[in-house]
Amino acid sequence: MTGKVRSLGSLRNRLALTLIGGAAVLAVLLYFVVRSYAVQIAQQGQDSILRASVTSILDAAVLRDGQLEVDFPYASLAMLGTDSDDRVFYAIYQDDVLVSGYDGLPVAASDSGMVTVTFDGVEVRTTTASRLLAGAQSRTRVTVTVAQTQDLLAVTLSAISRNIALFGAGFFVLVMLLAVLATSSAIGPLARLTTSVARRGPQDLRPVVSPVPSEMVPLVSSLNTLMARLGQSLNRSEDFIAEAAHRVRTPLATVRSHAETTLQRVDREENRQALRSMIRAIDESSRAAGQLLDHAMITFRADHLDQQDIPLAALVENLIMRLGPVADMRDVEFRTALDPDVTLKGDPILLHNALRNVVDNALKYAPRESVIEIDITANPPCVVIRDHGPGFPVDQISNLSDRFTRGRNAEGIIGSGLGLTIAQEVATAHGGQMTLGTHSKGGACVTFSF
């Protein structure tokens, strides 16, 4: 039973979204921080020129014979010239009376530093400074205000903003690429572990030994412990079945021989009939116990597969020799076409058992006095066993290799439904497969390809 695993969403997407979301926030933050810093620097540049301009005008103011004279230093306004033709305004006041310059130019308190105000419908940056001039008889206060529009600043700022936006976008794209790379490399070991576990055969309970990142070590250790426990419990149950089958078979053989002896002594037909049924039931049980024993042995040996070079032709000839007496009893003839050079790496006991089960079926289900053909071909190594019986029941063919599954043609024939299961498991353990089919002349055809 496999429970459906609920998904909490993709770890890769979550990681990538966190990184990309973080990068987006950083890029926006970077844009505003750098932009405000750039505004400050650009503003400071304009402010210091404005301040120098005001100071140089103030310095040019003198009191001569009680009269204020300003030898206007034109350089003080020229220094404010910009590529954007920013307009410059000034106003000179003597004791709050406008002496020269623009009337109405807002005068900031002289200690308020730089301020931005609206004059003549535009925003201007302005600063004001004043000085006390002392003559022989009089004292007067001269105040100078200089203001400048901010066109160049706006142009500079929009250029800076464009560049920072481009830089931010580039940074964001770069982080996005890095996020994809980082998530792939972080998730990579997990994906590799999943593939390596998913690719395993159902019997493969070996521990995972390939190195994994330290965060995954507890998970892999738990997985390995679980597989070890599973392996142990499987082995225990296989051992138990083998032991139980063995213990059942021995007394059954004894009971059977007693029943046979009794059958020879009994004359009444109804007693003879009862004894025959008994012998048949014993045969069924004995066959089932034998097949269970074989299956347990197969499962165990498949887990620790031998790697001998097996000449397949010799293996088949040996099998035919052993099954000779049964074949003779049914007047069945073996016809073989065996390529002597075909070898296979594996466990000869398992392969012998698999082929024996299939040939045994051919002997059981095909009619007397028929022919069983066995071919061995190379590239890839294949063993094909054909008989001339009724063939597999077509609608059941896909299930006949399942445990304890028998076809409807098996009625009245002793068997336990494990023969094809064993053959199939042996083929899989050797990296091959077993295919059931019907050959052109109608009989069953079993192909092992490795």
Ligand X SMILES: Nc1ncnc2c1ncn2[C@@H]1O[C@H](COP(=O)(O)OP(=O)(O)OP(=O)(O)O)[C@@H](O)[C@H]1O
Q: Would you say 265 or 408 has its CB closer to ligand X?
A: 408
Q: Taking CA 336 as the corner, what is the angle to CA 330 and CA 337, rounded to the nearest 5 degrees? A: 170
Q: Would you say 168 or 407 has its CB closer to Mg ion?
A: 407
- Give the span between the Cα atoms of 391 and 411, in whole angstroms: 14
- Give the span between the Cα atoms of 16 and 267, in whole angstroms: 87
- Give the span between the Cα atoms of 168 and 23, in whole angstroms: 9
- Residue 168 interaction partner, one of ligand X, Mg ion, none, beta carbon < 5-8 Å per kind: none
**Tokens at residue 283, please?**
């045969």
Cα Rg of the chain (Å, integer):
50
Distance separating the N- and C-terminal Cα atoms of the chain: 30
- Applying the rule CB under 6 A, the residues between 118 and 137 that interact with ligand X are none
Task: Report which residue type is found at 412.
Answer: G
DSSP-derived 3-state class of residue 152: helix
- Min separation Cβ 421 and Mg ion, Å: 9
Single out the residue of 58, 129, 242, 362 in contact with ligand X (rule: CB under 6 A).
362
* Residue 90 contacts ligand X per CB under 6 A: no
Q: Would you say 80 or 358 has its CB closer to Mg ion?
A: 358
Stretch in the footprint of ligand X (CB under 6 A) among 24-32, 61-69, 78-86, 399-407: 399-407
Backbone CA torsion sign across 148, 154, 156, 157: positive
Buried b (16+ CB within 10 A) or exposed e, 179-213: beeebeeebebbeebeeeeeeeeeeebeebeeebe
Beta strand pairing call for 333-338 and 139-149 = unpaired
- Min separation Cβ 388 and ligand X, Å: 10
* 82 touches 151 (CB < 8 A): yes
> Shortest Cβ contact with Mg ion: which residue?
419
Q: Would you say 272 or 406 has its CB closer to ligand X?
A: 406
Q: Would you say 316 or 444 has its CB closer to Mg ion?
A: 444
Stretch in the footprint of ligand X (CB under 6 A) among 44-52, 72-80, 125-133, 357-365: 357-365
- Min separation Cβ 221 and ligand X, Å: 40
- Min separation Cβ 425 and ligand X, Å: 11
Single out the residue of 389, 425, 434, 447 in contact with ligand X (rule: CB under 6 A).
389
**Tokens at residue 7, please?**
């998904």
- Min separation Cβ 220 and ligand X, Å: 38
On the CB side of 92, CA atoms within 13 Å amount to: 21
* 155 touches 84 (CB < 8 A): yes
- Applying the rule CB under 6 A, the residues between 261 and 290 that interact with ligand X are 287
- Residue 406 interaction partner, one of Mg ion, ligand X, none, beta carbon < 5-8 Å per kind: ligand X
Taken as a whole, the chain contains a residue count of 450
Backbone angles phi, psi at 19, to 5 degrees: -65, -45
Per-position x/- string for 416-435, each x denoting binding to ligand X as judged by CB under 6 A, each - no binding: xxxxxx--------------
- Residue 130 interaction partner, one of ligand X, Mg ion, none, beta carbon < 5-8 Å per kind: none
Stretch in the footprint of ligand X (CB under 6 A) among 218-226, 237-245, 273-281, 412-420: 412-420
- Min separation Cβ 412 and ligand X, Å: 11
Single out the residue of 106, 135, 189, 415 in contact with ligand X (rule: CB under 6 A).
415
Alpha helices (runs of H) in 110-216, residue ranges in sequence order: 151-198
* Residue 365 contacts ligand X per CB under 6 A: yes
* Residue 444 contacts ligand X per CB under 6 A: yes
- Residue 87 interaction partner, one of ligand X, Mg ion, none, beta carbon < 5-8 Å per kind: none
* Residue 409 contacts ligand X per CB under 6 A: yes
Stretch in the footprint of ligand X (CB under 6 A) among 211-219, 256-264, 388-396, 427-435: 388-396
* Residue 406 contacts ligand X per CB under 6 A: yes
Q: Which residues bind Mg ion (CB under 5 A)?
A: 361, 419
- Give the span between the Cα atoms of 173 and 194, in whole angstroms: 31
- The contacts of residue 190 (CB under 8 Å, 6+ apart) are 11, 216
Angle between helices 312-329 and 348-365 (to 10 degrees): 30
Single out the residue of 255, 343, 410, 438 in contact with ligand X (rule: CB under 6 A).
410
* Residue 310 contacts ligand X per CB under 6 A: no
Q: Taking CA 25 as the corner, what is the angle to CA 19 and CA 28, rounded to the nearest 5 degrees? A: 140
DSSP codes, 248-284: HHHHHHHHHHHHHHHHHH---HHHHHHHHHHHHHHHH
Single out the residue of 183, 286, 357, 447 in contact with ligand X (rule: CB under 6 A).
357
Q: Would you say 242 or 423 has its CB closer to Mg ion?
A: 423
Q: Would you say 376 or 385 has its CB closer to ligand X?
A: 385
* Residue 297 contacts ligand X per CB under 6 A: no
- The contacts of residue 371 (CB under 8 Å, 6+ apart) are 332, 333, 334, 335, 387, 388
Please report, as ranges, the residues that interact with ligand X according to CB under 6 A.
Answer: 287, 291, 357, 361-362, 365, 387, 389, 391-392, 400, 406-407, 409-410, 415-421, 444
